[in-house]
Chains A and B, each alone.
Chain A
Amino acid sequence: MPAQNNYPEIILSVDQINLSFGGVKALEDINFDIRKKEIFAIIGPNGAGKTSMLNVINGFYHPQHGEIRFKGLHRKQMRPHEAAVQGIARTFQNVALFKGMTTLNNIMSGRNLKMKSNIFWQALYYGPARKEEMENREVVEYIIDFLEIQSIRRTPVGKLPYGLQKRVELGRALAMEPDLLLLDEPMAGMNIEEKQDMCRFILDINEQFGTTIVLIEHDMSVVMDLSERMIVLDYGRKIAEGNPDEIRSNQKVIDAYLGVAHSN
């Protein structure tokens, strides 16, 4: 169990978000706050709108109503790369790596925003371009060590097994040095050892880098152990919010997961 949160400062607040695709309401009146340096989970049955929520936060979807406030900045709409500039990184449910590139290059590409040298120095690969390349390589090597993927540094990621790909994807997100890290089912399809490794990495990232983490996960034991607070979505609505103990005993949550007998 992570230590009780001592940082009540709010980093991201989600205010009255409504998102619909045609007639389908994906998200309805969602409100919640995420505090700085906490591990926050979004759970719910399939199709509840968890991934849609993440897509709204990092700018893939533009909600019809509502507002997101990140680090004090109000916004209604933004492009994904603007979210990246502000310090939001994420991983995907289905690994979204650059398959033709090596592990090293994948993680290096996460440093894209930190690199500024212009095209003329890059054409020569000298001066500022080379210096910058080396500095960022050092950061990337630190991440590679951190995630224990030294041996696959030069392997094209398309050839890696699924569990390692997930780890490389986490590395790429970390390379951005984000303030907020969105993890969409980081443990889907993993065996128990891989899950334990991933849990360890998530806790270490939170502790060592002080990164705020938002997590979607189906494995309840993982969620209950990792996260400090969570919200539960069902059919696009928020049905509960609280710490793991409160959620476990919440009747609505139990109904949503186990189903409830309808009276008609």
Chain B
Amino acid sequence: MFYREAGQFKTTYIADQELFPVKQDRWGLLIIIGFSFVVIPVVANDYWLQAILIPFLIFSLAALGLNLLTGYAGQLSLGTGGFMAVGAYSCYKLITIFPNTNVIVLILLSGFVAAGFGLIFGIPSLRIKGFYLAVATLAAQFFFEWLFARVGWFYNYNDSGAIEVPVRKVFDIAVTGPIATTEARYIVVLSIVTTLALIATNIVRGRIGRAWMAIRDMDIAAELIGIRPLYTKLIAFGISSYYAGVAGALYVFTYLGAAEVEVFDINISFEILFMVIIGGLGSISGAFFGSAFIVLIPILITNLPLILGIPINAATVEHFNFMIVGALIVLFLIFEPHGLAKIWSIMREKLRVWPFPY
């Protein structure tokens, strides 16, 4: 009843091409963003920020990057973990080389290093497609895991083999390192994720986004209307790796605080791919839904027995966790292959005519 477009007429193409043509969507999103920036840091406690919201946002960013590549450009990749590692380690090196530079700038710059490597590992995509390409991108995953574990230069030859995040301040507020408050780290992550999500939305609705979808849906016809396949695919690899790299840098610098290369193993690549599939291929909001699903469901399952007061030991809960998440993924793929974003859009369609569907 309240979600209606009636009476909202577009008189210019500019108005019609707006990001959120429906007024309610626009306000809804603004309210969500405002709420996340203003209310959540005040209300939420450390557990919520540290264990739920920060990882949720970081994984959303990584899933968003993979969604650009897999969902929009149609190129399957299993190298996300590798590119996240590139982002994290290059941020670490950058912070060693330029100790006085603003850490947020360095995090954003380290994405470009990942993007560069993404371009290199995207070259095989001209010749191979689908599952074979996925296997080729595995090369990136294993190569970077090996590189960052074996070459001491990347972790400054320290004995533990791990990278440890030094304290860095922005406007005199510590945002990384052990003394940074969760609120400060949350705000940094939220700002970067919001900005990059907005940029991703802009890219997919413009020329590049259309070229990606054209390559995904029918590459022969795409070439015919003047889209160069290699160039378009490489842009997708580059931008996607940029997002993965920034996510990786954030993962270490604002969430873990210290990390070895094992945190970026193949499991994380798969996890992010699941987020993309469950959230919805080819949808920006899908990345957020998928990440919420994968991050929140295990936490929910772990805490539910405690909340309900069911006496059950932690190990059993852990087993249940795997079973239930696995079953949910299978059910999702069967009943809604287009993911949570599709369910959301169906709900919106229903809402538009509710309560008088005819």
Contacts and interface: CB of A to CB of B under 8 A. Distances in A.
A110 B217 contact: no
A60 to B, nearest CB: 8
B217 A117 contact: no
A235 interface: no
Interface residues of A, number: 41
Contact of A119 (B16, B208, B213, B228): B208
A113 interface: yes
Interface string A98-109: 111100010011
Nearest to A85: B226
B225 A134 contact: no
> A97, A98, A133 — which one has the most chain B CB atoms within 10 A of its CB?
A98
B227 A99 contact: no
Contact of A81 (B16, B17, B227, B235): B227
> A58, A99, A100 — which one has the most chain B CB atoms within 10 A of its CB?
A100
A119 B199 CA distance: 10
A78 to B, nearest CB: 12
B97 interface: no
A137 B13 contact: yes
Contacts of B217: 97-101
Given A96-B218, A134-B13, A134-B17, A80 B223 contact: yes
Nearest to B281: A100
Contact of B17 (A92, A101, A115, A133): A133
Interface stretch (A124-132, A206-214, A222-230): A124-132
Contacts of A80: 220, 223-224
A9 interface: no
Interface string B1-30: 000000000000110110100000000000
Contacts of B211: 109, 112
A92 B206 contact: no
Nearest to B200: A123
Contacts of A159: none
Given A105-B210, A112-B207, A134-B14, A124 B202 contact: yes
Given A108-B210, A123-B199, A133-B17, A100 B226 contact: no
Nearest to A105: B210
- In the A-B complex, the 9 residue pairs with the smallest Cβ-Cβ separation, listed nearest first, are A84-B226, A98-B217, A125-B202, A96-B221, A113-B226, A109-B210, A122-B206, A123-B199, A80-B223
Interface of A: 58, 60, 79-81, 83-85, 89-90, 92, 96-101, 105, 108-110, 112-113, 115, 117, 119, 122-125, 129-130, 132-134, 137-138, 141, 172-173, 176
